[in-house]
Amino acid sequence: MGVGSGLMHPVVAFLLNALALYATIGVAAALAFVSFGVTRVQPASVSLGARILILPGAAALWPYVLFRWLKAGTR
């Protein structure tokens, strides 16, 4: 493979696909959490501005957010 051959190394392709999948699941989970779950984890009312601020962090840390959301639902 020469420079500029247009082919991506399979490991790089796998990592980029895994990152895209993680980000896609993260955005979906964050939108659901900000819309419905944040009041279960945090019983106080949450303003729209606070929900907007929570969204990027919830997308990045979606496994932890889902764990906390599910744990709060069982209480």
What pLDDT is stored for residue 7 in this prediction?
A: 80
* pLDDT for residue 14 is more than 80: yes
- Would you state the pLDDT for residue 3? 60
Rounded distance, CA 74 to CA 13, Å?
A: 39
pLDDT at 1 over 60: no
Task: Say if residue 4's pLDDT is above 80.
Answer: no
pTM for the full model? 0.82
pLDDT category of residue 29 using cuts at 50, 70 and 90: very high
Helices 48-60 and 62-73 cross at an angle (nearest 10°) of 120
pLDDT at 8: 81
Range 2-16 burial, b when 16+ CB lie within 10 A, else e: eeeeeeeeeeeeeee
Domain spans in the chain, listed from the N-terminal domain onward? 10-73
